[in-house]
Structure formats: C-alpha cells, structure tokens
C-alpha cells in the first residue's frame, strides 16, 4: 500500500527564510526572512510566488510601507519590519525554511501598506495635498 505524502506549498501570511542573492543595485540582499504575499491558489499551482523582504535593521519611525512585526510573531527571533516597498516575484526554490505565520491583524496592516506602495491608496502630506503622483 502506497503512503500518501501531504503536498505543501507556501501560503499567504507565512514567513520563510529566503535566499535573495544574486541581486543588483539597491535590491534587498542575502538570505533573510520574507513574507508570502501571493494568494494561496497561485502559490499551489505556480512555481513562482510573491514576497516582501523582512529586515531587523530599521528606524523607530516607520514609513507607511513598513510594517512592524514583534518577535516571536512569524517565527522571528527579533522585532523586524516587513518592507512592502521591497516586493519581489521569486521562484519557490529560493524558499529555504518555513519560520512561522503572521496574525490576521498584522496582515490587515500589510494589505494597507501594499495599497500605499502600489499607489492604490493615496497618501496626503502634512499640508493636506495629495502627493501620490
């Protein structure tokens, strides 16, 4: 009798250790955590997924496209920031290890930051002027 093996694939909201090298210019470098952003259906069937890089080096005041992830959420060892201005499509072969999952509240913040990063949600400067163009 053959043993059925559970097929696994990355799911939206999971954090993985990802090898981002090789890179060019200002692209995020090295092996680091990243957040899976792509929907689960595409993750199941596509060899590619979409991720946002995560860093543990950040300023206390965050940009609207940066979301704080408090350790140990997502399996992270230290407080870190998801960089929603550093979004990349990667081959799933770059995924090294599953670290953990983000909670729904954090993912809601991620969704807003994605909309800001892509210009879907417009920001206003301190004078109330729309600076999205």
Confidence of residue 125 (pLDDT cuts 50, 70, 90): low
Calpha distance 36→54 (Å, rounded):
11
Calpha distance 38→2 (Å, rounded):
33
Distances (CA, A) of 83 to 7, 14, 90, 128: 29, 15, 16, 25
Asked whether residue 66 is domain-assigned, the answer is yes
In 3-state terms, what secondary structure has residue 92?
helix
Asked whether residue 124 is domain-assigned, the answer is no
Asked whether residue 78 is domain-assigned, the answer is yes
* Radius of gyration from C-alpha coordinates of the chain: 16
Task: Assess contact for 125 and 132: CB atoms under 8 A.
Answer: no
Asked whether residue 125 is domain-assigned, the answer is no
Query: What's the pLDDT tens digit per position in 59-70?
Result: 888 999 999 999
Asked whether residue 7 is domain-assigned, the answer is no
Instruction: Find all residues with CB under 8 Å of 114, minimum gap 6, and list them.
Output: 37, 84, 87, 120
Query: What's the pLDDT tens digit per position in 12-54?
Result: 999 999 998 887 887 777 899 999 999 999 999 999 999 999 9
Point out which residues pair with 90 in neighbouring strands.
Answer: 49
Please state the domain count of the chain: 1
Which CATH number covers residue 23?
2.30.30.110
Q: Does the reported pTM lie above 0.75?
A: yes
Asked whether residue 4 is domain-assigned, the answer is no
Q: Which residue range forms the structural domain that includes residue 21? A: 14-117
> What are phi and psi for residue 19, nearest 5 degrees?
-90, 105
| In the chain, % of residues over pLDDT 70 | 88
């Amino acid at each position: 009798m053959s043993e059925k093996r559970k097929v696994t694939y990355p799911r939206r909201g999971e954090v993985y250790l990802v090898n981002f090298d090789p890179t060019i210019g200002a692209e995020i470098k090295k092996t680091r955590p990243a957040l899976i952003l792509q929907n689960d259906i595409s993750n199941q069937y596509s060899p590619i997924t979409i991720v946002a890089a995560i860093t543990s080096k950040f300023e206390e005041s965050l940009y609207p496209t940066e979301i704080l992830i408090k350790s140990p959420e997502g399996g992270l060892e230290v407080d870190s920031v998801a960089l929603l201005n550093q979004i990349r499509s990667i081959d799933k072969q770059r995924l090294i290890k599953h670290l953990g999952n983000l909670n729904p509240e954090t993912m809601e913040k991620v969704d807003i930051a994605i909309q800001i990063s892509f210009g879907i949600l417009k920001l206003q400067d301190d004078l109330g002027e729309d600076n999205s163009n």
